[in-house]
Structure 1
């Protein structure tokens, strides 16, 4: 199948670069290049693209407003073209809330050279978007949160995700009570975006959410997000668990890697841990979740129907790594039920 792509960007240079990248891919076709939202709206109706690349910062009507209107009128997979700034990161995360599938960060300098170097990444993002499930955005509903019957430091929850994961993690974590076990998170995201994402989660959740710095002692009611350029691992330190950040090579194609996090928890926590694998392209986390399963951890995978991209959970389920396969809507409740079951009769 040929993927029809519409490019929307106010920069003639970026439109040209993206168009050339798309033209060079044998499975893609450029169906239009729009300089603003008004031309883009016309081309969407005329060409019915499979994927749209969309700039956030545009004149007249910005990318976020265009995205919001389009996702209600004609939901289409969108890859955002973002800037590597704090303001750009915040707008990018907002675009994911509005229904964008993924994003590519523009280089701060040397745009032409930088975008050309991103050729493979951009092509992969477009292919992933073409395979994704797009849903009309719906008003956010604050979930009811009840305290869990748990008071200890020996349990750890580990969550891994990729494409579609920023919203999936938010939905799960917002159901966790303030006294939930310490939670560590690896979401495939470039450096410069994870600190902003952690702040957004912290504002929405009862748990305290922060970007991991390394060396922290894991405590109940705290959630720690892997930074965009480091692997997050858990080490045992006496009776405590502590976070270790490492700058090693990519694992399963990623840094941070879900497999690295899961494997470290398997060794340090074993049956005291709960592993959760959410939506995402590829297979990162599948092998690590299987090792957690073998070590006696409780393991969960998001079901196909609720995934934006049913890749990582699918591989894990096929490997037999999931004790439970749960919808995104029911994931938080299932995890907390497992925590209470694990805690029953255990040392507190």
Structure 2
């Protein structure tokens, strides 16, 4: 995309109604140029070659080729920023998380009923996410090569060594666009006995259970949706349940989860600022705060409160962030002195926890 020129968008959806509504919504912004639409991935493939879009909106469930299969091929052969259009169902949540793992930048939730009116209600969000996608970083999807397994290579997995044991540290992490995969990378790098982790990721309410289960599968820690009042324990990571804030409160010598159904903050529920402010108040210098990739500035002020309370803080660096909105806002606010590449964040968090 040439700086200053409109973002060129191709809309891929098997529904003529959705194609028309998305075209009208996106074309209403002078910074967006809808250059075409396609009813299925095979038509889309030809239009991508011919029209060279900056961003694609892609429905997951389409005829002739599944949206995920198309996305995987696209990110491997011709990576482009993709915003998924997904349904607000449990199955839709799992499929959307797979799409984000394959390299989609973000997603827009399609209502189950009265799609036309529902999409119009999301107009501002749709425009914002498409424009953000045009500025995001995408990478070629590398297909992993499976190792050749022989009888000599089959052996019991070594027990994970205990590298850390304390109840005196609490790690708080916030993320948004690009964060579902960034959080997976960070949690994969933490040992089973790491300090307790409390997380906030901007997601629709119906996605939280599928997301917690996905992180749990990829982590040596136990990852779960928090329940109100439960103790915060080492080796566990806690996510807010759908559409609610997560806070941490002090109860004597321990911390507990507080699930909060209060109003949205920074237009988000859950909000990173809500979590960080509670951690600053309850844990202070015993906490460690981190902001990963995300759009907007949610969490920046909360991270500053953590820093002012004596907690070490860090943000994901610009090069490895899909969107350097939230981490960039925190860095510019002076909420951290440290920018860390995604692949080193888990190691850095453990180093700070030991320090």
- Superposition TM-score tier, normalisation by shorter sequence: over 0.9
Work out which of the residue numbers 56, 60, 81 in structure 1 matches 2:60: 56
Work out which of the residue numbers 220, 223, 227 in structure 1 matches 2:237: 223
1:24 and 2:24 aligned: no
Q: Give the 3-state SS of the residue equivalent to 1:39 in structure 2.
A: helix
Shift of 1:138: 2.7
1:312 and 2:333 aligned: no
The aligned residue for residue 303 of structure 1 is 317
- 5 Å-filtered alignment, 1:18-97, equals 18-97=22-101
For each residue in 1:267-300, what CA deviation from the matched residue of structure 2 results, as whole angstroms up to 9, or x when unmatched?
Answer: 0000110101011111111111111011111111
CA RMSD in angstroms, aligned pairs only: 1.7
CA contact (8 A) 1:77 1:101 kept: yes
Work out which of the residue numbers 172, 177, 181 in structure 2 matches 1:158: 172
Whole-angstrom distance in 2 between the partners of 1:22 and 1:333: 41
CA contact (8 A) 2:76 2:143 kept: no
Shift of 1:340: 1.3
Shift of 1:228: 3.5
Shift of 1:324: 2.5
Whole-angstrom distance in 2 between the partners of 1:140 and 1:201: 20
Query: Runs of 5+ in structure 1 lacking a partner?
Result: 342-348
CA contact (8 A) 2:205 2:243 kept: yes
CA contact (8 A) 1:148 1:180 kept: no
Assess, with a 3 A threshold, how the Cα gap between structure 1 residues 245 and 141 changes in structure 2: closer, same or farther: farther
Work out which of the residue numbers 133, 143, 155 in structure 2 matches 1:129: 133
CA contact (8 A) 2:163 2:191 kept: no
Work out which of the residue numbers 178, 190, 194 in structure 2 matches 1:176: 190
Work out which of the residue numbers 115, 118, 130 in structure 1 matches 2:119: 115
For each residue in 1:295-345, what CA deviation from the matched residue of structure 2 results, as whole angstroms up to 9, or x when unmatched?
Answer: 11111111111111111111111122114221001111111111111xxxx
Deviates more, 1:212-221 or 1:318-327: 318-327
CA contact (8 A) 1:150 1:180 kept: yes
Whole-angstrom distance in 1 between the partners of 2:294 and 2:73: 25
1:257 and 2:271 aligned: yes
For each residue in 1:216-251, what CA deviation from the matched residue of structure 2 results, as whole angstroms up to 9, or x when unmatched?
Answer: 100011101123411110000111101111122221
Query: Runs of 5+ in structure 2 lacking a partner?
Result: 147-157
Work out which of the residue numbers 309, 312, 322 in structure 1 matches 2:336: 322
Assess, with a 3 A threshold, how the Cα gap between structure 1 residues 46 and 281 changes in structure 2: closer, same or farther: same
CA contact (8 A) 1:165 1:187 kept: yes
Assess, with a 3 A threshold, how the Cα gap between structure 1 residues 280 and 134 changes in structure 2: closer, same or farther: same
Shift of 1:128: 1.0
Whole-angstrom distance in 1 between the partners of 2:229 and 2:293: 29
Whole-angstrom distance in 2 between the partners of 1:146 and 1:266: 32
Q: Give the 3-state SS of the residue equivalent to 2:319 in structure 1.
A: helix
Work out which of the residue numbers 254, 275, 278 in structure 1 matches 2:289: 275
Work out which of the residue numbers 248, 259, 271 in structure 2 matches 1:245: 259
TM-score, with normalisation over the residues of structure 2?
A: 0.93
Work out which of the residue numbers 9, 12, 17 in structure 2 matches 1:13: 17
Whole-angstrom distance in 2 between the partners of 1:95 and 1:329: 21
